[in-house]
Amino acid sequence: NAGVTQTPKFQVLKTGQSMTLQCAQDMNHEYMSWYRQDPGMGLRLIHYSVGAGITDQGEVPNGYNVSRSTTEDFPLRLLSAAPSQTSVYFCASRPQVGGGSSPEAFFGQGTRLTVV
Amino acid sequence: DAKTTQPPSMDCAEGRAANLPCNHSTISGNEYVYWYRQIHSQGPQYIIHGLKNNETNEMASLIITEDRKSSTLILPHATLRDTAVYYCIVRVAYGSKLTFGKGITLSVRP
Q: CA-CA distance, A32 to B95, in Å (whole number)?
A: 11
Using alpha carbons, select from A17, A26, A38 the residue that is nearest to residue A89: A38
B91 pLDDT tier (thresholds 50, 70, 90): confident
Residue of B43, B87, B102 with shortest CB distance to A109: B43
* Sign of the dihedral defined by the CA atoms of residues B91, B94, B96, B97, in that order: positive
Asked whether residue A99 carries a pLDDT value surpassing 70, the answer given is no
Q: What is the pLDDT of residue A101?
A: 52
Summarised one tens digit per residue, pLDDT across range B48-70 is 999 998 999 999 999 999 999 99
Q: CA-CA distance, A1 to B35, in Å (whole number)?
A: 23
Q: Report the gap between the CA of A10 and the closest CA in chain B (Å).
A: 13
Residue of B41, B43, B49 with shortest CB distance to A102: B49
Q: What is the pLDDT of residue A98?
A: 54
- Residue B76: phi and psi, rounded to 5, are -65, -35
**Percentage of the residues of chain B whose pLDDT score is greater than 70:** 95
Q: Report the gap between the CA of B42 and the closest CA in chain A (Å).
A: 5
Q: What is the pLDDT of residue A109?
A: 95
Q: CA-CA distance, B59 to B28, in Å (whole number)?
A: 26
* Minimal-distance CA residue of chain A relative to B93: A102
Angle value at C-alpha B94, between A38 and A107, nearest 5 degrees? 35
Q: Do A98 and B93 touch (CB under 8 A)?
A: yes
Strands lying side by side in the sheet with B18-23: B18-23, B70-75, B61-64, B55-56
Residue B11 at interface with chain A, using a CB cutoff of 8 Å? no
A8 HSE (CA, 13 A, CB side): 9
Interface of B with A in 64-93 (CB under 8 A): 87, 93
Q: Report the gap between the CA of B43 and the closest CA in chain A (Å).
A: 5
Using alpha carbons, select from A39, A13, A8 the residue that is nearest to residue A24: A8
Q: Do B102 and A40 touch (CB under 8 A)?
A: yes
Q: What is the pLDDT of residue B93?
A: 64
DSSP track, A41-90: --EEEEEEEEETTEEEE-SS-TTEEE--SSSSB--EEESS--GGG-EEEE
Mean pLDDT on B79-103: 86
B30 pLDDT tier (thresholds 50, 70, 90): confident
Measured between beta carbons, which residues in chain B are less than 8 angstroms from residue A41?
Answer: 102
Q: What is the pLDDT of residue A94?
A: 87
